[in-house]
Amino acid sequence: MSPQPLSDAELQELQQQLDALAPPLEPLDVSMLDGYLVGVLLQPQPVPAAQWLRFVADSEGRAAPPGAALARVHALAQRRHAELDLAIGRRDWFDPWVYELDADATPSETVLPWVAGFALALGHFEALMACDEAALLEPLAVLYQHLAPEDLDDADALLAEIDTLEPPRDLAEAVEGLVNSTLRLADVSRPRRAAPVAKAGRPRGGGTRRRG
């Protein structure tokens, strides 16, 4: 049975539950969480839930204080994890949790939280980066072009590749880059052994949402 995608109401509930977590915890927001889950799922070997869930409520993985309400957060995050796992495994299109900002926001500013979550996952789980460096370079550059150059320390080859890219013309193109790069990275870390890889289509309706 395919996992049930989160409804808009459940997505709003998830954000509210994350917002309610008290300091010193630094929980992810839903857009950052989505990119984080993709980074987790692109590891060559499955990451146990107990390992990746600890960074949902706190980006540094600090233990939640006694009594923190995490059961619902974990349940909703695991449903999204299962949904993304299926899409990535099939090389299907998925709609990233990317939210339109104000009218002056650039495409890169809008997708930045998602990419930051992806980068967080790769910081905590490093096996993907041990894969074929040459094959990873271009799709990683498409993602990391949205980060500030100073956030990419000791990544000369990646920065050079980013310099060859044209910035996305609009948000739909930026979102398409997130998904296509995800599926290309999956070809490296999670190769399919049977059916040929299907190309991802363009997003339906741009693949973005407005916070309600």
Q: Has residue 87 been placed in a domain?
A: yes
Per-residue model confidence as pLDDT tens digits over 13-53 = 999 999 999 889 999 999 999 999 999 999 999 999 999 99
Q: Has residue 3 been placed in a domain?
A: no
Segment among 48-62, 134-148, 159-173, 191-205 with least mean pLDDT: 191-205
Q: What is the mean pLDDT of residues 81-101?
A: 96
CATH number of the domain that residue 50 is part of = 1.20.120
Cα(180)–Cα(76) distance, integer angstroms: 25
Q: What is the mean pLDDT of residues 203-210?
A: 48
Q: Has residue 71 been placed in a domain?
A: yes
- Judge whether 117 and 32 are in contact, CB under 8 Å: yes
Read off the amino acid at residue 171. L
Q: Has residue 74 been placed in a domain?
A: yes
Domain that holds residue 146: 8-209
Q: What are the tokens at 129?
A: 């980066």
Q: Which pLDDT score is estimated for 2?
A: 83
Q: What are the tokens at 30?
A: 């839903």
Q: Which pLDDT score is estimated for 194?
A: 57
- Judge whether 178 and 114 are in contact, CB under 8 Å: yes
Q: Has residue 1 been placed in a domain?
A: no
Q: Has residue 156 been placed in a domain?
A: yes
Read off the amino acid at residue 140. L
Cα(31)–Cα(64) distance, integer angstroms: 21
User: Has residue 162 got a pLDDT over 90?
Assistant: yes
- Identify the three-state secondary structure at position 35: helix
Task: Quote the crossing angle between the two packed helices 71-90 and 171-189, to the nearest 10°.
Answer: 80
Q: Has residue 131 been placed in a domain?
A: yes
Count how many domains the chain has.
1
Q: Has residue 113 been placed in a domain?
A: yes
